[in-house]
Structure 1
């Protein structure tokens, strides 16, 4: 018996192969939990191609056919046959920009290698993939228009822990998890008030547009010299240890600083905010224990994901200097610093952490 998974938007979709002595087009079925994937079980499979049954064909190369790699379970993804290994189920929560994707030409090849690795060992074996990003949902969706070919995740945590989304399998619509917002109950937070306070007390900050005011975060930018000069005053103001009433509320907040070169990105969040909230929510939602959870990142706004000593962490080799400085201050329990960049670093970390626990068959 051979099971084939095929990545496609075709519906219907057929695998065209020599079956029972002649070439036939056999209809595939949608995968029950992975959108844009079709599947079929066959007693025997030799050479094959795919078709939509209406004149469109998928061959690995013109005049060539796909080949059975000789394993009982495999996927065909963007022109490549990928054997699937039954592996230990893990929860991976990864940053996107400069961790799995980036503008450097080499990031695209590393991203594809990560996609193929995740398909081979984790995408169909009970593991869960979560993207935890500073981007909004709209900015995340724009990445596909820009040509990034990311695997569809099981969850997206956006705006540095401001929202969590899953996609409805049937409609393709993103569902905002309102219960994620309840993690901030009791924080007395108000993004509009906080944005106003920042403008009044820290005029050197720049709020690009109103759209960067999120439910549980405001995003600002600032020149590096201003950040270095005023960082301590900003953090003291946000902590509000005296409980000062500002605009009718007592708000305790924090600043998460990231970025390189002459400018810094500053995320102003509730005092318990940041990407750590997304880690905890994903663990609870998908029912994964810390010892089977891995986080991955590269910049200052990923630090909160690395603070918890119970779960594993991967710092990619291209991590920002300030992130590396924080990481190297003391031993980080269960955390691994890869020498490889981008998606290759994530692969390296997973293999270092779970490589000896892979097989369960």
Structure 2
């Protein structure tokens, strides 16, 4: 299956080294996997099944080992090696806690944190995480943190503390205001927040996700979000849309799957994402049968990448 999109990106053709190449009896110049930017959600996608996470890590490390030895870009200007990025609602500190508790999780090259409002790069021999300059500075146009927070707090007055609550301070930042709302009042909450923001002339977008009785409701700058941060990173690294793949399991992953690139919905995806997929039916989006990280591998296989 090729990865189709509006601009018809070419199908990927690599399926690993041939036996002759592995034995060293043929030229391996064309045996390297194509360089890709893989952007995956964390909770419920890359993590949630340790065996699946370990299987993905083995795959990705072998892919890195097969990359060309030089660090320079290819002749056509594309990167010579692949990059792995996790796009998550977690903060950097929460990611570090997760990584410390999960030995199976592959260390990525980049992190997009807090629902697309912060971008980090792993640098230096020690792999220290540094915020990528320039991204957060783009989010301020038309945005007001205080007005966004007031619109969220207004929901508590409107619906009561039993149905709406503000999330803890470590889940908030200057470009992200998050509250928890009962599932049955999500639409009403979104309408109320949108009205309040319109009165304040704040340019924002709302993202909700989660399963069960409660949903996360994130209020973000209009220029923020998972797709916008992904495109910022993709362009910074020099990857084409044809060589960019996203993977996710929930409603807050819809935004990054609406871009003109390949996407993978894992088999354990929540209903808000699967409903979107059923209505959209886009050929560049694959719905895997396998759950968690094995679903990512299944999707990569469908795009001739595994």
| Alignment TM-score, normalising by the size of structure 2 | 0.79
Aligned counterpart in structure 2 of residue 215 of structure 1, from 174, 190, 193: 174
Structure 1 range deviating more: 295-304 or 216-225 = 216-225
Aligned to 2:301: 351
Q: Which aligned pairs between 1:320-331 and structure 2 lie closer than 5 A? A: 320-331=270-281
Q: Does 2:92 correspond to 1:137?
A: yes
Question: Whose strand fraction is larger, Structure 1's or Structure 2's?
Answer: 1
Q: By how many angstroms is 1:217 displaced?
A: 1.0
Q: By how many angstroms is 1:100 displaced?
A: 0.5
Q: Which aligned pairs between 1:1-80 and structure 2 lie closer than 5 A? A: none
Aligned to 1:149: 104
Aligned counterpart in structure 1 of residue 145 of structure 2, from 191, 203, 225: 191
1:169 & 1:302 partners in 2: Cα distance?
30
Q: By how many angstroms is 1:298 displaced?
A: 0.6
Q: Does 2:67 correspond to 1:117?
A: no
Aligned to 1:176: 131
Structure 1 range deviating more: 166-175 or 256-265 = 166-175
Structure 1 range deviating more: 163-172 or 336-345 = 163-172
1:147-197 deviation line (CA, Å, top 9, x unaligned): 343111110010011111112223432111121123325x22232331123
Q: Does 2:287 correspond to 1:337?
A: yes
| Alignment TM-score, normalising by the size of structure 1 | 0.68
Q: Detail structure 1 runs of 4+ shifted over 6 Å in the superposition.
A: none
**TM-align CA RMSD:** 2.0
1:189 & 1:231 partners in 2: Cα distance?
17
1:179 & 1:148 partners in 2: Cα distance?
32
Aligned to 2:5: none
Aligned counterpart in structure 2 of residue 225 of structure 1, from 166, 175, 184: 184
Aligned counterpart in structure 2 of residue 93 of structure 1, from 39, 52, 57: 39
1:224 & 1:349 partners in 2: Cα distance?
30
Gaps of 5+ in 1: 1-69, 73-84
Q: By how many angstroms is 1:315 displaced?
A: 0.6
Q: By how many angstroms is 1:287 displaced?
A: 0.7
Aligned to 2:83: 128
1:12-70 deviation line (CA, Å, top 9, x unaligned): xxxxxxxxxxxxxxxxxxxxxxxxxxxxxxxxxxxxxxxxxxxxxxxxxxxxxxxxxx7
1:325 & 1:190 partners in 2: Cα distance?
32
1:262 & 1:71 partners in 2: Cα distance?
56
Structure having greater relative contact order (Cα 8 Å, sep ≥ 6): 2
Gaps of 5+ in 2: 1-21, 25-30, 68-80
CA contact (8 A) 2:172 2:178 kept: yes
The structure with more radius of gyration: 1
Q: Which aligned pairs between 1:293-312 and structure 2 lie closer than 5 A? A: 293-308=244-259, 310-312=260-262
Q: By how many angstroms is 1:228 displaced?
A: 4.3
Aligned to 1:262: 213
1:124 & 1:93 partners in 2: Cα distance?
20
Residues 192 and 217 of structure 1, relative CA distance in 2, 3 Å threshold: same
CA contact (8 A) 1:132 1:158 kept: yes
CA contact (8 A) 1:87 1:122 kept: no
Question: Whose helix fraction is larger, Structure 1's or Structure 2's?
Answer: 2
Secondary structure of residue in 2 paired with 1:100 = coil
Q: By how many angstroms is 1:333 displaced?
A: 3.9
Aligned length: 261
